[in-house]
Chain A
Amino acid sequence: MKKQKKRNRGRWRKDDTQLTLLALPTAIWYLCFCYMPMFGIIMAFKNFRIIDSSKNFFYNLLASETVGFKNFKFLFSSGSGGLVIKLTLLYNLVFIVLGIVVPVTLSLIMSQLHSKKFAKTCQTLMFLPFFMSWVVVTYFVFAFLSPDKGLVNEMLKNFGRNPISWYREPKYWPGILIFLNTWKGMGYGMVVYLANITSIDGSLYEAAMIDGATKLQQAKYITLPMMKYVIIMMFILATGGIVRSDFGLFYQVTKASNSLYTVTETIDVFIFKMIKEQPNPNMGAAAAFLQSVIGCLLILTTNKIVKKIDNDSAII
């Protein structure tokens, strides 16, 4: 560390100029697409109006009247604020837990299968949903759940039950959405974890076996500790997403059905509606502001906690 610092001091060299030039286009990209929107966040404290349509967004933003926390007050008094927060957090907690437990468990089991060819084939097939966009998944779901032609309702009819109009019944959807999210992310997680498992030194297992360790003990005392870093990294990244919600899953897959809003009105859907359907950009901006700030704090806090427990696993 010290040596590094010493070497970093000293004169500005030609190499530094060239490296700066190499990094510059990307830095400009970051300025346009990441940092400029960050300045736009003051919209949450403004009553944004187009004051002068010949000037650009920033001029109008700064010229708009500042209203302090009024937008936030509206957000929470509108009645949907509480529901939106509750849904977003609950769904995400389930997604984070399942998104780690399911792929880790499956990769542990898969690494033990006798036929490696079979394991590899299965892994490839399970990776398929990851490459499907939510728009396509919407079609899959519709093929099964369509109220008048769907496969599930046809089956129910054949068993002499009443068909269910799926897109009007909120009670089924939390389960369906959680299932879909797990189904889609499973393959990706497994690729990451399996690659990690196969990179573990085989002699550790041999030594454990000679000492009489069972398979379960081997998994508990060798594999899981060796996977710790990757799991923690995935976990920290996931916590940052706790205030985001997968718009495609909640909006597209449910076909934006109004009768389902009690289980699908997560924060991104809410903000989208604020922009596109019932234009109220200021309230949307307030919601987006909360989303950004809370998300940022969450990642930093998680990282800090992880750092306290185990310094090597922190990502920052």
Chain B
Amino acid sequence: MRKKEKDFEETPIKYNCIKPATNVIFSAIFFLLAVLCVVPTIFIVILSFSSSKSIAQVGYSFIPVEWSLEAYEYLWNNFDMISRAFGVSIFVTISGVIIGLLLTTSMAYSLSRSNFKLKGFFTWVVFIPMVFGGGLVSTYNIYTSVLGLKDSIWVLILPMAVSSFHVVICKTFFKTTIPQSILESAEIDGASQFRIYFQMVLPISKPLLATIGLLLTFGYWNDWWLSLMYIDNKKLYSLQAVLMSVERNIEFLANNADGLSVSAAEYAMKMPKEPMRMAMAVVIVIPIACAYPFFQKYFVTGLTVGSVKE
């Protein structure tokens, strides 16, 4: 305890360990589990680099007969479409995270102040949706006809911006990690609540912002449900939506390719269908797979702080 903070890295106490033999067995189990979690990703990467000929010959295999870049070349030739989808995904993710963080933390900060008069009321406002929802049918109707969100970019951003669960995590974090005395002294010095929130609370809670921001980032990046329900306009397709369409109809890309000198049917004939599907999936998975290990520590701190009950 004295030498450094107690955390996952702490050296185990040597005389209170499991036996070496048991350790070997347990390690083997975890090795297998880890492989089980990573193999599918590696598998589709391999498939995306196989040639269509090879897939026709030996099926989907870890050891293709022939390597090739044709799938990626094809995607590159479809650059307009893919880059637009990529742009939609990026825009939705970034604006969603910013809006989501502001909405979540401002509500959470108000709820964390114990002498706030409307605390009880807002607590209920946040809590009720946790246990009760309108259901899919009425939600669909409200979004499309009352809020007019059908085929608008906002329908991909707003519905996911706030989650009551995140608000509760933030509230708990503010309550447990920010000493009330600091805030009270700031109030006595005449700082307004906005100033306290923007200049004190937010800078102190960087790990929390990172955690919630990450949860939101992955949520937005992986979201296909909102596209499926509310987006018919192909220009607003995110990467996941394109992937969904390709899964249903491989000719989707051929039909939506711009500026073709050949007919769509001819174009579809030449398409390396199987590897290309996999290449699409790789385009989505790789950014996530590369990014998440670096952010994992924020997850751990955020999740633990948030799950402590007052």
The segment out of A92-100, A131-139, A166-174 that lies at the interface is A131-139
B145 engages A149 (CB within 8 Å): no
* Contact residues, B220-262 vs A (CB, 8 A): 222-225, 240, 243-244, 247
The closest CB in chain A to the CB of B241 belongs to: A135
B37 engages A8 (CB within 8 Å): no
Task: Mark contacts of B138-161 with chain A using CB atoms, 8 A cut-off: 1 yes-contact digit, 0 otherwise.
Answer: 111110011100000000001101
B142 engages A37 (CB within 8 Å): yes
Whether a CB of chain A sits under 8 angstroms from the CB of B114 is yes
Number of interface residues, chain A, beta carbon within 8 A: 116
Task: Mark contacts of A123-141 with chain B using CB atoms, 8 A cut-off: 1 yes-contact digit, 0 otherwise.
Answer: 0111111011111111110
In the docked arrangement, what's the CA distance between A104 and B243, Å?
34
How many A-B contacts at CB < 8 Å in the complex? 317
Known interface pairs A8-B117, A143-B278; A29-B158 also in contact (CB < 8 Å): yes
Whether a CB of chain A sits under 8 angstroms from the CB of B204 is no
The prevalent SS among residues of A at the interface is helix
Residues in A with CB closer than 8 Å to B300 are: 191, 194-195
The segment out of A72-80, A83-91, A294-302 that lies at the interface is A294-302
In the docked arrangement, what's the CA distance between A192 and B299, Å?
9
Known interface pairs A15-B187, A27-B107, A109-B29; A192-B8 also in contact (CB < 8 Å): no
B131 engages A300 (CB within 8 Å): yes
Give, as a whole number of angstroms, the nearest-CB distance from A122 to chain B: 4
Residues in B with CB closer than 8 Å to A40 are: 134-135, 137-139, 141-142
* Contact residues, B87-112 vs A (CB, 8 A): 102-104, 106-107, 109-111
Number of interface residues, chain B, beta carbon within 8 A: 110
B247 engages A139 (CB within 8 Å): yes
A128 engages B41 (CB within 8 Å): yes
A209 engages B16 (CB within 8 Å): yes
Give, as a whole number of angstroms, the nearest-CB distance from A111 to chain B: 9
In the docked arrangement, what's the CA distance between A27 and B111, Å?
12
Residues in B with CB closer than 8 Å to A255 are: 247
Q: Say which residue of B114, B129, B145, B222 sits within 8 Å of A4 (CB atoms).
A: B114
- Chain B residues in contact with chain A, CB under 8 A? 1, 6-13, 15-18, 20, 23, 26-27, 29-31, 33-34, 36-38, 40-41, 43-44, 47, 55, 58-62, 102-104, 106-107, 109-111, 113-119, 122, 125-142, 145-147, 158-159, 161-162, 165, 167, 187, 192-194, 197, 218, 222-225, 240, 243-244, 247, 274, 277-278, 281, 284-285, 288-289, 292-293, 296, 299-300, 303-304, 307, 309
**Shortest 9 CB-CB distances between A and B: which pairs?**
A40-B138, A37-B134, A288-B135, A133-B222, A18-B193, A26-B107, A149-B59, A140-B40, A57-B145
